[in-house]
Amino acid sequence: MDPISSSTDPARRAPYATDPWASRGRLCPEPVSPTRTEFQRDRDRIIHSTAFRRLAHKTQVFVPHEGDHYRTRLTHTIEVAQIARALSRAFALDDDLAEALALAHDLGHTPFGHTGEDVLEVCMAGYGGFDHNAQALRIVTKLERRYATHDGLNLAWETLEGLVKHNGPLTDVSGQPVGRYAKGGVPAAIVEYDARQKLDLSTFASAEAQCAAIADDIAYNAHDLDDGLRAGLFSLADLLDVPFVGDLVREIEAAYPGLETTRVIHELGRRVITRFVEDVIAESRARLAAEKVASAADVRACGRPVIAFSHSMVAADNAMKAFLYPHMYRHPRVMRVRRDAAEVVRRLFEAFAADPARMPGEWACAAAVPAGPSQDARQKRMICDYIAGMTDRFALSEHKRLFGTAPELR
């Protein structure tokens, strides 16, 4: 089987791949396209969405003022899509579905990266909280307003399923929340949509969705090392004691003595991605064989992910994250910016909650609802939707409009 061939050719597709011609369909039925599969249409709709364009001006780790060479949510998303597509092709899956899911996985992120998400979670306590995965579902099923016949993008069932469950089941077979949702429950947006179109929350998602999820981990590791080194938050010497990464640095130094630092950094990123991808391919092929996976239904019914790291690479992944957390994500320089950014989001929410009419146009009109507990929750959700959709620079612009000034975030 040729892993480079198009996933639209049934003869070259693995038996456990998701078949675009056998999709469970869309919530609002549409005529079949004569030129594209269902998943190609979904990929294209995601790329043309407003939420996708906004990713260009949303923080990954460094805000735009830090420099033009660091990742934004959009460049991160493109890197994830490249890795997801490569993995999908290696397993002869539907790479259009894997790419669509990779392109959509961060649509629900707020301005200023995880800082904005943390603030909105606090602001929405008592009103259903905030979860970027649930927000992505709201965007593609409700908040995008592009079509004459429906809200959202009206994506295929398999794309919505993968968007919601790419990190694993959300409930057990009895409906009890599991994993990251075991304590706080499944977000209301997901529960509400599941009532309209069942997403089988107790099963794993497709192998394509699992490729997109693990591609996100790989991209994070590689580009956060790259950005952190280029920003001077840590040095190559600091990495020598980090398992796996330190070995790669020594490997590069031995192969290319005296190589300039910028080329070493780039070579390190390449090798991190290559080793992780090769490990996923080997481990996943072993799992697919061990579980005797023969269909897409088998993938969903399997008791564990079929696309995964080996135990040794899980340890390497954990070691990298353990290093990056204090040396990058909690670096004093990053934390100073995060504190100012958090204050921007918090003040915006408080201002709009006190007077929803301060939001522009249709947002203000839609938020002008009668009093009552349920209406208050609806109003707060609309304010949350408005802020979550902002880019970094628009959030700063709104802060300046309301308060006459905005922090420089440096």
Q: What one-character DSSP code corresponds to residue 357?
A: G
Q: What is the pLDDT of residue 1?
A: 35
Residue 3 confidence (pLDDT) above 70: no
For residue 171, pLDDT beyond 60: yes
CA angle 318–319–322, rounded 5-degree value: 85
CB 287 within 8 A of CB 306: yes
Confidence of residue 370 (pLDDT cuts 50, 70, 90): low
Q: Is the pLDDT of residue 373 over 80?
A: no
> What domains are defined for the chain?
10-196 (1.10.3210.10), 227-331 (no CATH), 333-403 (no CATH)
Q: What is the predicted pLDDT for the residue at 366?
A: 75
Section 122-137 average pLDDT: 95
Q: Bridge-partner residues for 26, per DSSP? A: 156
d(Cα 288, Cα 336) in Å, to the nearest integer?
Answer: 46
Which residue in 139, 149, 135, 151 sits closest to 46, CA to CA? 139
Model pLDDT for residues 33-84, shown as the tens digit of each residue = 999 999 999 999 999 999 999 999 988 665 444 545 577 899 999 999 999 9
Q: What type of residue sits at position 46?
A: I
pLDDT band for 4, please (50, 70, 90 cuts).
very low
**Higher pLDDT pick, 230 / 71:** 230
Give me the percent of the chain exceeding a pLDDT of 70.
94
What single string gives the DSSP state of each residue in 251-282? Answer: HHHHHSTT--HHHHHHHHHHHHHHHHHHHHHH
Q: What is the mean pLDDT of residues 164-191?
A: 95
pLDDT tens digits for 280-289? 999 999 999 9
What's the mean pLDDT when you consider all of the chain?
92
Q: Per-residue pLDDT averaged across 265-294, rounded?
A: 97
Q: Residue 2 pLDDT > 60, yes or no?
A: no
Nearest by Cα to 154 from 21, 20, 33, 46: 46
Concatenated DSSP letters for 136-147?
HHHIIIII----
* pLDDT higher than 80, residue 6: no
pTM, rounded to two decimals: 0.94
392 pLDDT more than 60? yes
